[in-house]
Amino acid sequence: MEVPVSTHTEHPISLAAPSGIDRAAHHRLDEAWLAAAWSHPTTRVFVVSGGQVLIDDTPDGGTGIVMTPAFEAPVTETHRYFLGTDDEGVRYFALQKDSLPGRMDQSARPAGLREAGLLLSERDAGLMVHAVALENWQRMHRFCSRCGERTVVAAAGHIRRCPGCGAEHYPRTDPAVIMLVTDEHDRALLGRQVHWPEGRFSTLAGFVEPGESIEQSVVREVWEEAGIRVGEVEYVASQPWPFPYSLMLGFTARATTTEITVDGEEIQEARWFSREDLRAAFESGEMVPPSGISIAARLVERWYGEPLPRPVA
């Protein structure tokens, strides 16, 4: 059986492709402009709740976020977030609510990013990532970290202000590195986290610690999780990952040692895979591929040379 040879083919990274949306941040503090944008007949609004939105089938056979004109949108006084404008001048807003509205028809359904990200257009995926990230931050940062006073929403959802001490708080993003490590034989190092089911393997990953560069973080995480030393580190691409508010920074790294010693706390098992090994494991069902929405799958595919094989039914 022919096994692909990596040509480092570039595949688009889910949730990272250009969305065609101008975030138009200069309008966030312009209350008159925001009010006019909200009342414009072409403005489109959708609800985000608990990381989910309503999605529905579209006439062209695709899937889109269920959006309504502003005058049909649910009422909310404060949690209305301006997301930007498209090339045709349409303004987009998200409303944060405690629950999604009732289904608008038989096909509309709630979905989180892991499902919807694989189905939505680049525009809708970009809007959903932005909205979910803001919702996560808003829900988890309601009080001032300086004085403990309850904060209020400002800048169309992109600032929380403290009425007590005057502090302004901005959405946080936690940088995390995710890396495909290869050795001198061009084998790939994949690991299984402790809480994952048997057979699920993916690239190693971890958060950047205070005072270290992202390259240093790659070296440290690979050593801590798998006991492998790496030398050359090369940046590939990034992916917003609002679970709850991370930015995944994707790398490749070249191992200088090959003896694996897992930490047992984060990584339960790690193995070196040739392309032949990986194809056989996936096709037999012994291994489960990384999530198709994740940058992990793109990093592995970039090394593998083509889309990952799936189990044979």
Percent helix, percent strand, percent coil in the chain, to nearest 5: 25, 30, 45
Whole-prediction pTM? 0.87
Q: Which residues of 38-69 are buried (b: 16+ CB within 10 A; e: fewer)?
A: beeeebbbbbbbbbbbbbbeeeeeebbbbbbe
Say what percent of the chain tops pLDDT 90.
75
| Confidence at residue 292, expressed as pLDDT on a 0 to 100 scale | 77
Contact by Cβ (8 Å): 275, 304:
yes
Q: Is 277 helix (H, G, I), strand (E, B) or coil?
A: helix
- The answer to whether residue 78 scores a pLDDT higher than 80 is no
| Confidence at residue 6, expressed as pLDDT on a 0 to 100 scale | 46
| Confidence at residue 1, expressed as pLDDT on a 0 to 100 scale | 43
- The answer to whether residue 193 scores a pLDDT higher than 90 is yes
| Confidence at residue 17, expressed as pLDDT on a 0 to 100 scale | 64
Residues 59-71: pLDDT tens digits? Answer: 898 999 999 999 9
Q: Residue 270's closest CA among 210, 169, 194?
A: 194
**Beta strand spans in the chain (E):** 44-48, 52-57, 63-65, 68-69, 80-85, 91-96, 109-112, 152-154, 159-161, 168-169, 174-182, 188-193, 204-207, 230-241, 246-255, 267-273
Residues 269-296: pLDDT tens digits? Answer: 999 999 999 999 988 889 988 877 889 9
Averaged pLDDT of the chain = 90
CA dihedral 170, 65, 238, 180 (to 10 degrees): 130
| Confidence at residue 11, expressed as pLDDT on a 0 to 100 scale | 47
- CATH 3.90.79.20 residue spans of the chain: 25-169
Cα–Cα dist 16/8, whole Å: 18
Phi and psi at residue 22, to the nearest 5°: -90, 115
CATH number of 25-169: 3.90.79.20
Cα–Cα dist 3/283, whole Å: 13
- The answer to whether residue 8 scores a pLDDT higher than 50 is no
Placement of tokens 């919702």 in the chain: 135
- The answer to whether residue 105 scores a pLDDT higher than 70 is no
Task: Say whether domain 174-304 belongs to CATH 3.90.79.10.
Answer: yes
pLDDT band at residue 310 using 50, 70 and 90 as cut-offs: low
- CATH 3.90.79.10 residue spans of the chain: 174-304
Cα–Cα dist 183/180, whole Å: 10
How far is the CA of 264 from the CAs of 159, 223, 224, 290, in angstroms? 40, 13, 10, 20
